[in-house]
Amino acid sequence: MRRASDAERERLHETFAALCRIESPSGRERACADWVAGELRRMGLEVDEDDAGPRVGSNAGNLLARIEGAGRDTILLCAHLDTVPLTAPVEPVRLDDGWENANDGILGADNKSAVAVIVELARRLTEAGAGPPPVGLELLFTVCEEVSLLGALAFDVTRLRSRFGYVFDHATPIGEIVIAAPTLHRIVGEFRGRAAHAGVRPEHGRSAIAAAARAIAAMRLGRLDSETTANVGTIRGGTAINVVPERCRVEAEARSVDRGRVEALATEMIDHLQDAADAAECDLDVTVERMIEGYRMRPRAIQVTVAEQALLACGYEPRHILTGGASDANAFHAAGLPCTNLADGTEHNHEPTERISTTALEGLLEVAIALVDEAGKALAGETAP
C-alpha cells in the first residue's frame, strides 16, 4: 500500500486538532463520540454504539465500525475517546515541530493522536477506487479508559471477529512494543476513631488521620523494582481543626507485571493499615479490588511479529518493553483477545506540557497503514497451501 500523501498528512493534522478541541474527560465523551461517528458515517461506514455508557458513568458508549477486507481475516484497531481531567481549555497550536496546548493544561494527544490516525486510515481505505484492504478492520473507540479501562471492560468482546488487535496508547517513542503490562489492585482503608474537642479533651479522642498517617509512613511507595510500583493516591478525613478526626479514608494502589509480587505487595500494604489502626485504637474496614488484569505475551506471537514488520517497513527499530501502565489491551487480553499496545510518540502525557511532534503523528499513520499490509501478508501466509 502506498505511503500517505502530503494531502493525507495535512488532513491528519486537521483531524487531530479538531479532536483535541473537543473536551472529553472521562464520563463526558458524548461530543467526541458524535464527532467520530459522524466522520465515519460520512465515509459510508455503519457505526454501532453499545450500552456501556450508563454502566460506566459516561454519557456515551463504545463505538464500533467495520471495513471489509479482501481476505477472510480481520484485525482490531482501538483508541480511547476520553482524556484525564482538564485543568485548562485545550487550544492546540502547531509549532515548527509539533503540537502543544496554548494554555497550561493537557493537549489530549493521549489518546486523540490514535483516534485521528484511525479515522484517517478509515478515510483512506474507503475513498473511491481504494478497493478492499488485504485484511478486514474493526475500529473500536472506547470510553472511560482513563478510569481503570471501564469502557473496554464493559465492551462485549464476543461481538468482534478479529484474530488479534492493536491499541496505540503508550506515551513513548514509536517503535516500542509492549509485551507485558501490570495487574493492578485498588486498596481502600476506612479508619474509624473517636471524635473529641482538640483543645479541651484531646486525650479522649482517637485520631483516624493520625492512624492513616502512621500506615502511609510505614508503606514502601514509588518504584519498588523494575516491574512493581505502589502509590497512595488520596487521603480524606476530618471535619474541623478543633475536632480530633473520627474518620479518614485512604485510597492506594499496588501494581506489578508479576502477579505474585503484586499480591504480596497488596497484603503488605493491608498489614500496615491494620497495624496502624491497632496502634491508634481505631477500627478499620479494608476493601481490595483487582481493577486490572495483567498480561505477558510471547515475543514471537503473530500480532507482535506483524507489528515488528510494520515498524521496520516504516523505518523504526522495534523494541520490546514491559510497562507499569495499563491500557485497553489489558481488558482485551483478559477477555481472550490477543491485543498489543504500541507506542504512539506522545510526550509528557497527563501533564500540562503534553505534546506530540509532527514526525510522530505522521509516523503513527504510516505504521497503521503498514499494519494492515503486514497483517494481510501474515494471515494469508497462515492459510496458504
Is residue 101 in some structural domain? yes
Same-domain check for residues 31 and 160:
yes
Last residue of a domain, one of 235, 267, 286: 286
Q: Which strand ranges, in their side-by-side order, compose the sheet holding 92-94?
A: 92-94, 98-101, 355-357
Is residue 1 in some structural domain? no
CA distances to 165, 233, 248, 293, 311 from 266, in Å: 31, 15, 19, 14, 38
Is residue 140 in some structural domain? yes
Same-domain check for residues 158 and 277:
no
Same-domain check for residues 251 and 348:
no
Question: Residue 384: its pLDDT value, please?
Answer: 43
Same-domain check for residues 154 and 198:
no
Q: Say which CATH number the domain at 275 has.
A: 3.30.70.360
Is 138 one of the annotated active-site residues of the chain? Answer: no
Question: Residue 211: its pLDDT value, please?
Answer: 98
Same-domain check for residues 63 and 195:
no
Q: Can you tell me the distance from the alpha carbon of 156 to that of 51, in angstroms, rounded to the nearest whole number?
A: 10
CA distances to 86, 135, 339 from 68, in Å: 37, 8, 20
Is residue 269 in some structural domain? yes
Contact predicate 321/172, CB 8 Å: yes
Q: What is the pLDDT tens value at each position of the chain, 385 positions in all?
A: 678 899 999 999 999 999 999 999 999 999 999 999 999 999 999 999 999 999 999 999 999 999 999 989 999 999 999 999 999 999 999 988 999 999 999 999 999 999 999 999 999 999 988 889 999 999 999 999 999 999 999 999 999 999 999 999 999 999 999 999 999 999 999 999 999 999 999 999 999 999 999 999 999 999 999 999 999 999 999 999 999 999 999 999 999 999 999 999 999 999 999 999 999 999 999 999 999 999 999 999 999 999 999 999 999 999 999 999 999 999 999 999 999 999 999 999 999 999 999 999 999 999 999 999 999 999 987 654 4
Determine the 3-state secondary structure of 23 from DSSP: coil
Q: What is the CA radius of gyration of the chain?
A: 23
Contact predicate 82/26, CB 8 Å: yes
Q: Say which CATH number the domain at 55 has.
A: 3.40.630.10
Structural domain boundaries enclosing 277: 183-286
Q: Strand 319-322 to strand 247-256: parallel, antiparallel, or no bridges (unpaired)?
A: unpaired
Question: Residue 117: its pLDDT value, please?
Answer: 98
Same-domain check for residues 306 and 265:
no
Same-domain check for residues 141 and 275:
no
Q: Can you tell me the distance from the alpha carbon of 321 to that of 80, in angstroms, rounded to the nearest whole number?
A: 21
Same-domain check for residues 307 and 369:
yes
Same-domain check for residues 126 and 148:
yes
349 upstream amide cis, omega within 30 of 0: no
Is 145 one of the annotated active-site residues of the chain? Answer: yes
- Split into its structural domains, the chain has a count of 2
Same-domain check for residues 111 and 193:
no
Identified catalytic residue from 73, 82, 169, 227: 82
Q: Can you tell me the distance from the alpha carbon of 289 to that of 261, in angstroms, rounded to the nearest whole number?
A: 16
**pTM of the predicted model, to two decimals?**
0.92
Last residue of a domain, one of 269, 286, 303: 286
Last residue of a domain, one of 286, 312, 347: 286
Same-domain check for residues 232 and 147:
no
Q: Strand 176-181 to strand 319-322: parallel, antiparallel, or no bridges (unpaired)?
A: parallel
Same-domain check for residues 64 and 136:
yes
Identified catalytic residue from 8, 100, 138, 145: 145
Helix ranges (DSSP H) in the chain: 6-21, 30-42, 52-56, 109-126, 150-154, 208-218, 259-279, 302-313, 328-334, 358-383
Question: Residue 382: its pLDDT value, please?
Answer: 67
